[in-house]
Amino acid sequence: MSDTPKDVVTVSLEGTDKTATLPLLHGTMGPPVADIRKLYADMGVFTFDPGYGGTAACASKITYIDGDEGILLHRGYPIDQLAEESSFLEVAYLLLNGELPTAAEAAEFHKGVTHHTMVHEQLRNFFQGFRRDAHPMAVMCGVVGALSAFYHDSLDITNHDHRNISAFRLIAKLPTIAAWAHKYSIGQPFMYPRNDLSYAANFLYMMNAVPAEPYEVNPVLARAMDRILILHADHEQNASTSTVRLAGSTGANPFACIAAGIASLWGPAHGGANEAVLKMLAEIGHKDNIPEFIAKVKDKSSHIRLMGFGHRVYRNYDPRAKIMQQTCHEVLDELGIKDEPMLDLALELEHIATTDPYFVERKLYPNVDFYSGIILKAMGIPTSMFTVLFAVARTAGWISQWQEMIEDPANRIGRPRQIYTGAPLRDYVPIDKRG
């Protein structure tokens, strides 16, 4: 991040002699950023940016997005190269450490993660406290938050080794907790992790195997799962990552911060969209009903949105959606699923939405969640688990962003201000004098 004395934005307050000179900061890529930190002190003026569409809340070296061009880079590496050639654990290492691992580093990282996949037996009891029909995301919020009660030995966030071990624990244990949330909801016994399997294969194993029968993980499906995890691993300062950073800025422990991130991810405008896409496709039911549905979406009073479309940052095709579409076809081929009505419906919807002026003018393209739901459904994963899978993947990004924030000397507690629009100062009125 750099600035030069002449690289400034000057702001003046009309009708007064107050001016402020704001340094213009430059990252390695992306637009310049006006540093408004001294604006209030110099001029007595706050800035207003609900939804933070024009605000950089931090400096980060982890992920770069160019929304106009549809570019996504992790530590400089394009997402399509990572999805094609890397593995989820390698991407997790990259996000955490800044560089791709050497063979020795990769082996050590893999060993570190696989040696933390078990959870404390007592943690099993937490599952029993939930109703059978609890949404697995509700279980995730609770059980992941509960991890902080189990690791008092490593909660000193100022200690580098403690931070590292917590990162390992979170990346390693999330698939176990997620798979158990699923098993609990269908009344099957919990399957313990198998450390001889890859990260994605072990996750599929814990989700699908039962003790009574041998279970072979299909390598094509394991690869598809790994790719889905890579595509969801990090995405800059989205709502859930910003939640993790905001919670972490207070010094809260990493397990509590990730539980906060999971809660934020759950909403249908964010990670809950993959589940919502499937519900939407089921509701449309048939290609013939698409025009009627699109008409409802265009009618603002209906409050219906085309789920899996649009993105705050991308005003172009989400690069992850392209890879997801290809993976979708690979999975359906492998499973011998032909003429899948849901996919036909999705393709038709995509065609209409990408040519209809309403969506074209607003630059609403398919996002990552449009296809991920179809793939996961074909893989036999229940709809209620879609966002859980997203949470498993995003944990790598969340904990990397949390680490970066804690190690940044400029880190301060996150504390936005507001425009107060309530009642002005007034005196308390005793109850017998009201009305």
Minimum separation from the CB atom of position 238 to ligand CMC (A): 5
Residue closer to ligand CMC (CB basis): 217 or 307:
307
Which window, 136-144, 172-180, 264-272, 414-422, contacts ligand CMC (CB under 6 A)? 264-272
Q: Which stretch binds ligand CMC (CB under 6 A): 86-94, 144-152, 194-202, 302-310?
A: 302-310
Q: Decide: is 315 part of the binding site for ligand CMC (CB under 6 A).
A: no
Residue 389 binding ligand CMC, by CB under 6 A: no
Does residue 311 have an active-site annotation? Answer: yes
Using CA atoms, how far residue 312 sits from 192, 395, 411, in Å, is 39, 21, 25
C-beta closer to ligand CMC: residue 169 or 394: 394
Question: At closest approach, how far in Å is the CB of 259 from ligand CMC?
Answer: 18
Among 311, 371, 373, 400, binds ligand CMC (CB under 6 A): 311
Total residues at interface with ligand CMC (CB under 6 A): 19
Q: Which of 191, 206, 306, 393 binds ligand CMC (CB under 6 A)?
A: 306
Structure tokens at 362: 């607003």
Report the residue number, 139 or 368, with the smaller CB distance to ligand CMC.
368
Helix or strand (DSSP H, E) at 33:
strand 33-34
CA dist., res. 241 & res. 268, Å (int): 16
Residue 218 CB neighbour total at 10 angstroms = 16
Q: Binder to ligand CMC among 238, 241, 242, 325 (CB under 6 A)?
A: 238
Q: How far is the CB of 364 from ligand CMC (least distance, A)?
A: 5
Q: Which of residues 198-217 bind ligand CMC (CB under 6 A)?
A: none
Active-site annotation holds for 116: no
Q: What part of residues 355-374 is at the interface with ligand CMC (CB under 6 A)?
A: 362, 364, 367-369
* Rounded Cα distance, 97 and 74, in Å: 11
Residue 76's region, left for phi above 0, alpha for psi from -120 to 50, else beta, is left
Per DSSP bridges, beta strands 33-34 and 8-12 are unpaired
Q: Tell whether residue 226 is a contact of ligand CMC (CB under 6 A).
A: no
Residues in CB range of 296: below 8 A, 6 or more apart: 302, 304
By CB under 6 A, tell whether 393 contacts ligand CMC.
no
Chosen residue from 273, 280, 374, 406 binding ligand CMC by CB under 6 A: 273
Catalytic residue chosen out of the listed positions 226, 234, 318, 369: 369
Question: Which residues are bridge partners to 72 per DSSP?
Answer: 65
165 CB burial (10 A radius; 0-12, 13-18, 19+):
middle
Rounded-to-integer distance, Cα 364 and Cα 360, Å = 6
Question: How wide is the angle at C-alpha 96 spanned by C-alphas 63 and 146, nearest 5°?
Answer: 110
**8 A C-beta contact, residue 263 and residue 271:** no
234 binds ligand CMC (CB under 6 A): no
- Rule CB under 6 A: choose which of 297, 349, 388, 393 binds ligand CMC: 297
CB 101 within 8 A of CB 93: yes
- Which CB sits closer to ligand CMC, 254 or 272? 272
Catalytic residue among 232, 270, 311, 318: 311
Nearest to 257 by CA among 60, 129, 265: 265
Active site residues: 311, 369
Binding site for ligand CMC (CB under 6 A): 238, 269-271, 273, 297, 305-312, 362, 364, 367-369
